[in-house]
Structure 1
């Protein structure tokens, strides 16, 4: 429940509880694409992580320390700044990570309004720290205004960007193929910023951008990623104060369900991916 790194509308600190509540729609039955259910996995809700009120750096350290206790986390945010400490904790065990990043924004600014750690700068730090291997990082849904030097820096590090317009033109199957090509078979983390979705499907977020993915497109892409060496996932930037009929919270919950169902679909994954290395 953390959103002190936001640059526009706050409220993502209420996202975890909203996503949990919306997830009640997903507890009955198996995933029709995989005939698997997350309830077959050894899962537990470990509750909310502690944060340091009003202190971004201290909060990130607390999140990293708490995340280090778990072999495989699906984390509900919260603003996107929480992903940096989650990646740090995971990289300590697994080494530099590949990254599948759904978002409207590149989130590789060196700072946000002079603040080095915020919800738009975490991947700048993750790349510079060697936590993420930029050559195995792919961004899907990018479409926001961005400074040219920030965009060029991102590409220059080796990041693959699939802009929202390109995503609409080439379709989910081609995007999934590109993801597999980029991330390979090494450890990979999936981060899903709900503003990757068009505001028609996800109005309840702090920094909405028109022209985004439809929920079905995002689901279809994730469903086409079986067999990847996933080591963790998060869903971030759900801000229920701006939501309509819980559709954003349900979208966030469903993306987590898609990910867990993908793990559950493989007996090998369900036995080994959640086990500490």
Structure 2
């Protein structure tokens, strides 16, 4: 148990003070929400997630019996962005991420994932497998005429060869979507596990489907907090009813150890619409569960 009360710990992720890049795992915030198409406010998420994460420092994860805080984590603070400029911000985020090792990114809206995938794919020299939790497929070619936005991230990621669609699985999908948009992804080999399928299945069965899709590929986790039902995560920009319960998401994540993970992000937390830190704590717990997969 922490020697200092959780509320009095430093403001970094898991109560860490400000660190430097070069640790085994680097945590960085990305306070960006220019790509949102509904409610803004995700720029405030990194601070909220960090604050809520102080609830997770009292010991081991009781599922994996690992303490993520003991892994060697450095919270380097927030990436710089180009205020008011989406393309320039993505270029700047990509440059900063390019020098990072194993990055855990706290968004920010989902647009930032495109920059993170560009940096990681180019550093590894090839496409990644992708586990994508979300209410939305995010494969629209544009959002209301804006080519770069949070709903077009994975259209561009597939088109640019950053991810292998045959090694990509989307979990929690349930929002309204044009049939042509849905079929564009499945025609390229993307596996879609809807929220209803998760409800009718089990975390263990969903995790096995994910593992079968990812296989031995280097893999990336992108977790949009609106994969969770608004009852569990009200503070998000584009909520959709019928989503995953927090226990389902955590149960799936806890069963994804042993995959060749290379990085992750948790995005779309919108603190102005949160209540009692429910959404921020859920997001912090997603990153904590991910880090709990490592020895």
Name the TM-score class by shorter chain.
over 0.9
The Cα shift of 1:198 comes to: 0.2
Q: Distance in 2 between matches of 1:209 and 1:127?
A: 25
Deviation readout 1:86-122 (Å, 9 max, x if unpaired): 0111101222000000000000000001111000001
Unaligned runs of 5+ residues in structure 2 are 1-30
How many residue pairs align between the two structures?
A: 264
The Cα shift of 1:38 comes to: 1.0
Alignment of 1:57-206 (within 5 A): 57-94=87-124, 95-206=126-237
Whether 2:278 is the aligned partner of 1:224: answer no
The Cα shift of 1:34 comes to: 1.2
The Cα shift of 1:76 comes to: 0.3
Moved over 4 A (4+): none
The Cα shift of 1:139 comes to: 0.2
Query: 2:40 maps to what in 1?
Result: 10
Query: 1:269 maps to what in 2?
Result: none
Query: 2:8 maps to what in 1?
Result: none
Deviates more, 1:13-22 or 1:38-47: 38-47
Unaligned runs of 5+ residues in structure 1 are 267-277
Structure with greater contact order relative to length (CA < 8 Å, sep ≥ 6): 1
Deviates more, 1:96-105 or 1:85-94: 85-94
The Cα shift of 1:48 comes to: 0.4
Deviation readout 1:28-48 (Å, 9 max, x if unpaired): 201101111112212100110
Deviation readout 1:126-182 (Å, 9 max, x if unpaired): 000000000000000000000110000010110000011011001111110000000
Q: Distance in 2 between matches of 1:171 and 1:140?
A: 13
Which structure: greater helix fraction?
A: 1
TM-score by length of 1: 0.94
Q: Distance in 2 between matches of 1:145 and 1:167?
A: 18
TM-score by length of 2: 0.89
Deviation readout 1:180-225 (Å, 9 max, x if unpaired): 0000111000000000000000000000000000000000000001
DSSP 3-state at the match of 1:61: helix
Q: Distance in 2 between matches of 1:195 and 1:128?
A: 24
